[in-house]
Every structure is written in C-alpha cells, then in structure tokens.
Structure 1
Amino acid sequence: MLLYTGELVAPRPNLGLLRFRKKRTGIRYRDRLRSSFAHSTIHGMRHVFGERHLWQRCLWLTVALAAGVAGFSMYSVLGVRHSEQLLVSLIDTTQLPVYHIDFPAVAICPWSHVNWQRAPSALLRFLPGHPNAELRETFRQLLNVLELTSFSNFKRASDLAKRNVTGLRFLKLKDLMNYLGYRCDELFVPGSCVFDETPHDCCTLFVPEQTEKGQCLVFNSLISEHSRKKQLTNKFYPHKLSTAGEESGLKFTINASYPFLRDGEETPFGMNLMIKEPRQWTNQMMYHLYPDTENFVAVHPMVTETSPNTYKMSPSKRRCYFDNEQSPNFQNTSLTYDRENCMAVCLHQIVLKTCNCSTPVFLPPFEGIRECGIMDAECLGINSDIFSYVKMGDQDKYINDSRRGHFCDCPDNCNSRQYKLTLNARKLDYPKNSTETLITAQIYYGQRVMTKIITKLKYTNLDLLANFGGIISLYIGASVMSFIELLFVLGKLMRVVIKDGYAKLKDQIK
C-alpha cells in the first residue's frame, strides 16, 4: 500500500490505484462528539453517542433533554422569586449589649406652658409702650390660650377670634412662648440629677428644645443647636449606658410647687415624659408624671436594621428609607429621615398649605416661611381637626369619618430603635412636717441586653447561584466543570466546522 499526501490509496489489479472515500460530514461530526463525550461528566451524554442501537441513543437523548428542560424550568421559577425581591425579617440576636446604642433622649414637658410669675414682665417686653386696658386684657386672654395649647389642641386658639387682636398682630408667638416657658432652675431641685451613678448639674444635662408639646427640657438629644454643639466638643455625646436596673440610669427630682400657676387654675402642676431617639423631633407616646409621686420607667429597646443588600431596591418596594435617602415628602429640613420626623414635617406642610404660615414653636422650622401670628389664630382653630388627625392609606373608602384629618406618606426608616416602656408609680413618702410637693423619676434600661431584628432579601444573587447548582446537579448531574467541558466540546466542534467550510471555499475558488 502506498501513502500519498492528503489521502490514502490502495492497489487494485489491472485498475491502478483505488481511492478511499471520505466519511460523510455528519458521521465525522458524530464521531468527534462520541469521542469527546466518551468520558463526559454530564450524565447521559455518553450514552447518547455511545450506544450501538439508534433507539437506545434516541431514548437517552430524550432523557437528557427532559432532565435539562426540567432543571432550567425549576431554575426559572427561582429566577422569578429572586426578581420579586421578597423581604424577610429575622431575629438576629436577643443578646445585643445596650451599650451599642445611645441612651434615649428624655424630654420633660410641663402641662402648663406659661410661668405666670413672668407674665407681668412679658407684658412690658412684648407689648408696645403704655398699652390700654383692652390690649392688656387681650394679652392676658392670649396667655390663657397658650397655657394649655399644644399642636394637637389648636381649637382653643379660635376663642381669640372673638376679640380685637389687631394690636398684637406683630407679636412673635415662638419668642413669647419660649420666654414664658419654665426654665431648668425653676423645675429641677438642685443637685438631684444623676446619670450613670454620677451627679450632674441639671442645667448641663437638660437643655431647652422645641417639640410638638412646645418648649421642653430635653436630655441627650441632638435636635437643638446647643445639643449639636455639645456633640462637637464631647465625643462621648450622646451618652451611652452599659448597665441596667434601678439607680443605674437617669434620676431627677422636680419641684412641683404651685407658685408658677395662675390664680384659680385647677390643673395640677404635672409633667409629660417623652422618651425618644436623640435625632427625633418628637414622639407621640408620652407618660404623665403627677405631683407627689415616685416614678420608675424601665426602657426595653429593640434595634431594627435593614441589610445593605436591599439598598438597590426602590424605597417604595422596600417600604423604608435609609438615613442618606431623601423622601419626596421629607424636604426643607435638616433632620435625618425618621418616621416621626417625617410625620412632623408633613404636618408642618399641611399647616403651610392650610393657613399659609408655619408654627416653628411646635414643628421643624421652614426657612423663609412666615410664622403664624395672632391674626392666624382663627384659621388654626377652625382647622384644628385637620392637624390633630392623621389618616392612613385609603381608609376613606371603608370608614365613614366626619373628621377631615390629613394624609402623610411616611414609610419607616430602615434602621430604627423602638422603646417599650414600663412605668411604675407610687406615692412619694415625705418626712414629717414637710411642705414640699415633688416629682421624682428614674429612667433606666430594664435589661443589659436587647433584641436585634434584621430585614434582608429572601433570595440574593448568591442564593440564586447556589440553587442553580443544586437543581442542575439534581436533574442532569452537572457542575461547573461540566459546563466548561461542554463549552470545550462545542468549541472543538465549531473549529472543525469552520475548518471544513474554509476548505470547501478554497476548493471552489480553485
């Protein structure tokens, strides 16, 4: 037998050389695939090309295709679940030490907003010189209204509409109320303030701050300018606490004597106690501190966090906002995003829309907006039912409510703290022959540890990849190496196809 370049030939008697015929293209490709899949790690592919009988090869090809289709169908279901971006909340730990968070801000808000001992000096300070008797009486009526007015009780302001208040139209109500408000040295018994078992000057712990209850004295807050300056000079502010139990937190005593009240006042000299986050403007949940009582407030904090892997989700789908995100309904304020802060800003926008003025004495201020004055009292009083009632969602479709109210779209903040409070009060025992009227209070952690709840995506990209590997391994027994092997086989086959096509094209050109 003779060997020639490019082809094999064999001698035939009297007929010269016999040329071996080339294999058909399909057979050549099948042989290459059979040799490539002879030891394949993809289950079933060896039988598709290795079995002798056609029906057996067809059977194994059907099984392999069915397994592949079933596997990728299951994976598509997982893909849909991943695209839905479902959230799940889990208890991360129940033993998180309380020193990981700031101690809550504690606000003391007297029920009465007017210290009547300063009323005569306020008359000389805020009224024009030599006011007549009618103007002085109108001013006194104004103080009666302001005494118990809070943002949820503007209805009292409508009483002023019956009087001639033109002489008070230039009066700044915020300056007036803050001037008449109770000061630190008027409320706290000297030397009674203790935090973390360390005595402090009460007036260094508690600073004046605006809330929905008017001006309050607040401890450990970051709302007022004075508090923010304190943070710049003290790296340990806001304060933290690592211990729990009575005598471990904040203690103070308030002088609840009655010389500050006006004659004939029947309301006792009580206090509102507000527990809030340091960066919160206000908190709707309040407790009452009555005279002649000893109050023990146990704080049980709970931390709620949202995983950073949800940051790419839209806030509307996540239903919460991170601190660095801006809600469309939370504008024109320097406050960090918080549901309570958002509600306060939204409420202020309702006031602006309804009466075309702002109430910075109760709500976060808006720069460049006119402050509501005595001439706006009628508008505020008539629309008090709008300001005092928050409607949720589409409740008007299902609830027949005569109150007008207002709507505020304020989702939760993604990272927040919730305080569950337990208040125990008992009658204060005085020494014999004592004429004092006091209110004592202790605010402390109920436990040294707290619960942390974390919200995260139920299916992440890593879960999708892991489930893909499990499904593909279950149905077709494949792995990453199997897919690399498949790509390698297809690459070799493609190279042969291109090479054959190039050879045919070259022959046609010759």
Structure 2
Amino acid sequence: MVFRRFWILMFIMAVFGSGFCVLEVWKAYESSFTKTIILSTSFPYAHTPFPSVTVCEASRVHNTIIKSLFQNASGRPGSYEEALFNMMTLLATIRLPLFGRFGQMKKWKAHFDELNKLNISDVLLQAVRPCDDIFDSPCWWRNRFYNCCELFELQKTCYGYCYSFNSDVSEYSRQKTLFYGMYGDNKDFWLDDKGLARPKRTGGYGPWSGLRFSMRAQKIAPYVDTNPGIVVMIRDPSALPTELGIRVSKGTSGYIRIWGDKVLPTRRLVRVKPEKRHCLYPDEKKYLGRGYLRSNCLFNCYERFMYHDCGCVPSFNYFLYKADFPYPECNLEGLVCLADHSTNLININDRDKNLSSDLRCQCPDDCHSQKYKSNIIVANETTSADQIVVDVFFQTSTCFLYETDIVFDFMNALGDVLNDIPA
C-alpha cells in the first residue's frame, strides 16, 4: 500500500512537472520576437531589380489642349465651355489626396448634369502629352541608346497619368504581372512581348550606368497653377508611384543617386502568424493587382476611405481590376465631394480610430523588401533653357543584406527549457 501511494505521488508529480515544462516552453515561444542580422555587407545590386522611374510633367494636360479650351471659353462667362476649361486646369495639377481646390467647381453647379456625363479618366488619357513629344533624344540604358517610348510606358500615379520605366504596375505590364513571384512561383522576373526579362537589372554604378534621358519641358499657360518642370519618383518596381517625388526644373540636369538595403526572411518565419511576426509576404494579401507591399496597402487605404466618404474612386489614380476595384468611378460631383472631405483624406491615420475595424488602415511591414532611397545633385549642364536631363544610377555596386528570423521557434524553446532543468 505504501509503495502504491508512493508511485501515485510520483505519477502526479511527473504530470505536473510535464505540464510545467510545456507551459514554460509555450511562454518562451509566445514571448519570442524577430531579430534582424547582417548576412552580407557587399550584396551586389546586380542581383536585385533596378527601381521603377516614373516621370510626371508639371501639367498632366497637354498645353495645346488647355489653350484650345481657353479659346473656346473666352468671352463666355458662366458657360459650359468655361466650366470645362476650369475643370481641366484643376485636373492638370491634381495630386492625391489633395482634392481641396476642386471645391471651386461649385461655381458651375448649373452645368454639373452635363459635366457628370464625362468619363474623366478617358478625358485625361486623351489630354496627356504624347510620349513622342516629350523626349528630345534617345534614352540611355545599360551602355546603349533606345527609343525612349520603347522604355517608358503609360502609368497611373497619385498625379494622374504619367510615364514610367521598369514598372510592374504600368498600364502595359500590370496585365502580365498578376502572379509572378506569388502562389508558389519562385521566379523573380517576367517576360515582356519581346521575350526580355523584367524588371530590368544592371550591375553598374555611377553616372551613365543606369537610366539617362533628356526631355523638353512643356510650356505652362499662365492660367495653370504650376511651374515648368517634372517630378521623378523612384520606387520598387511593384509599388505604385504614390510619393511626392523629386522635382527637376527646366534648364537643369539632375543626377539621382540610389541606394538601399535588402531584407530577406528565413524559411521558418513564414510559419509564424502574421500578427506575431508583424510583417506580410507578397502572396498573403493582394492589393491593386500585385502581391503585398506596405506602400500599396497604404494607397489602398485612400481608396477605401474615398469610397466610404463619397461612394467613388478617381480611376485615373487607380487600376480597374475586377477583384480589387469594385467601386464606381468618380464623376465631377464625386471629385467635388472628395474636395469637401479633403482634410479627412489627408489625416487617415487620425480618423480611423473612430471607424469600424474593416475601415481601419492596417498595413504591416514587408517581410521581404528591397529599399530604394534616393537624393539628387542638380547641375546646369543643359543645352537650352527648356531642356531637362536626368541620370538615375546606383551610388555603389553593393548594399547590405539583412536576414530576419524569430529568436525562438518551438524546438529552440523546448531545448532552452530542458537545459535549465538540473540533471
């Protein structure tokens, strides 16, 4: 009887001891966090895509069209023609989410019924300056000259219609890049109609090693509120051009130097829940036709808030994908509504505390990322007062390569607890 009680007691102690060990293992596993270490201080840029380079003119409506609209409206105050002219001058310089100036269109409310019939995205597409009219000489890419319009493609941006180089989300390439690098596809490139790999890469660094182009600044009519020049945006090829960009004025040349580190996750990090690792992989969410990128997620927040406030989204800023663009396009009244809510759109992070959870802007970091930082050196090396020369290149041939991992996985935590048990 004594031995039986002894073994029962030992069994109970063993059960409690095992439970204690499992609890400690679980606590160690749950409290673990990610760490990032340096794998290499000289990772070649040749193994990473060259960034997309997006060029937006100061006025996204061709000067000849603005002049024609002005002539039609001259001497006809309060007319439909005057309302159309003023709408186009506002659209020429609009930038998301700064719609506030569209409140001026309320003065022509009598013509809203007719103006609302216009497809604003199509109107802007027809009014954009043709590619052949922008560049004044062949473009330089990786040691040879090309027809610029073979390198640059029409691109929807936060400024409206612009032209981009090496973008996975241009009007041309977005139809071909829906699945590459996602859903088990391990490729880091796709093929264009010529069979050439995209996104493009280069192993060189310094001036004349990347993309170089020259263009003529568009003349700006006095009734368009902007100054002659261009905006250049340097982005990840899969990222929508949504930033303020780098301003380059006419009569100047800009040398844009690029650098940035690469971050790779370990294989076991993907097994950790997203809310625990605080980052997302490209195939875990899809925004605007591409795999997850934090910058695209933030852009998508504007889309949801615009629909919440005004029931529409301006399609000259976004893609018309059936899967992730279920919202109506904004007509003129929709843009006026966005003007009324402009302050709320600018401060989306402050306002989402009072909204339902499905409207909150939650955009974790990217688990896998290549950073593209840039600055510009401006010189006066142009041959005429309206010329603009831009040279985009990597500052060095290599960057830092980082690896992100979890501090403990379950087996590490188990081993750590067992090591703490006295022999």
Q: Same fold (TM over 0.5)?
A: yes
Separation in structure 1 between the aligned mates of residue 252 and residue 327 of structure 2, nearest angstrom? 43
Q: Report sequence identity in percent.
A: 21
**Cα contact 2:54–2:241 (8 A) shared by 1:** no
Equivalent position of 2:90 in the other structure: 145
Equivalent position of 1:412 in the other structure: 365
Equivalent position of 2:275 in the other structure: 316
Equivalent position of 2:143 in the other structure: 197
Cα pair distance change 1:119/1:468, threshold 3 Å: same
Separation in structure 2 between the aligned mates of residue 266 and residue 82 of structure 1, nearest angstrom? 58
Equivalent position of 1:184 in the other structure: 131
- Give the letter for the 1:439 counterpart: I
- Give the letter for the 2:209 counterpart: S
Cα pair distance change 1:455/1:73, threshold 3 Å: same
1:275-354 to structure 2, matched below 5 A, reads: 275-326=234-285, 333-354=288-309
CA shift at 1:120, angstroms? Answer: 6.8
3-state SS in 1 of match to 2:378: strand
Separation in structure 1 between the aligned mates of residue 341 and residue 290 of structure 2, nearest angstrom? 26
Separation in structure 1 between the aligned mates of residue 402 and residue 158 of structure 2, nearest angstrom? 29
Equivalent position of 1:508 in the other structure: none
- Give the letter for the 1:175 counterpart: D
One of 348, 369, 388 as aligned partner of 2:327: 369
1:409-488 to structure 2, matched below 5 A, reads: 409-428=362-381, 430=383, 435-464=384-413, 466-467=415-416, 470-471=419-420, 475-476=422-423
CA shift at 1:99, angstroms? Answer: 1.4
Separation in structure 2 between the aligned mates of residue 470 and residue 314 of structure 1, nearest angstrom? 27
Equivalent position of 1:360 in the other structure: 315
3-state SS in 1 of match to 2:150: helix
- Give the letter for the 1:376 counterpart: G
RCO higher in structure (CA 8 A, sep ≥6): 2
3-state SS in 2 of match to 1:324: helix
Cα pair distance change 1:377/1:324, threshold 3 Å: closer
One of 186, 200, 208 as aligned partner of 1:239: 200
Separation in structure 1 between the aligned mates of residue 253 and residue 123 of structure 2, nearest angstrom? 32
**Cα contact 2:312–2:328 (8 A) shared by 1:** yes
Deviations 1:78-131 (A, max 9, x none): 55222323211212221111111110000001121211213477899xxxxxx9
CA shift at 1:77, angstroms? Answer: 4.6
Separation in structure 2 between the aligned mates of residue 147 and residue 225 of structure 1, nearest angstrom? 20
Equivalent position of 2:164 in the other structure: 218
Unmatched tracts of structure 1, length 5 or more: 1-24, 27-68, 125-130, 397-405, 477-510
What's the TM-score once normalised by structure 2's chain length?
Answer: 0.82
**Which structure is larger by alpha-carbon Rg, 1 or 2?**
1
Deviations 1:322-379 (A, max 9, x none): 11113xxx66x42211111111112111111111112111134354532111122321
3-state SS in 2 of match to 1:152: coil
Bigger CA drift: 227-236 or 409-418?
227-236
What's the TM-score once normalised by structure 1's chain length?
Answer: 0.69
3-state SS in 2 of match to 1:280: coil
CA shift at 1:232, angstroms? Answer: 3.8
Unmatched tracts of structure 2, length 5 or more: 4-15, 177-189
One of 33, 46, 50 as aligned partner of 1:103: 50
Equivalent position of 1:268 in the other structure: 227
Separation in structure 2 between the aligned mates of residue 318 and residue 84 of structure 1, nearest angstrom? 11
Separation in structure 2 between the aligned mates of residue 79 and residue 142 of structure 1, nearest angstrom? 62
Separation in structure 2 between the aligned mates of residue 285 and residue 449 of structure 1, nearest angstrom? 27
Equivalenced residue count is 390
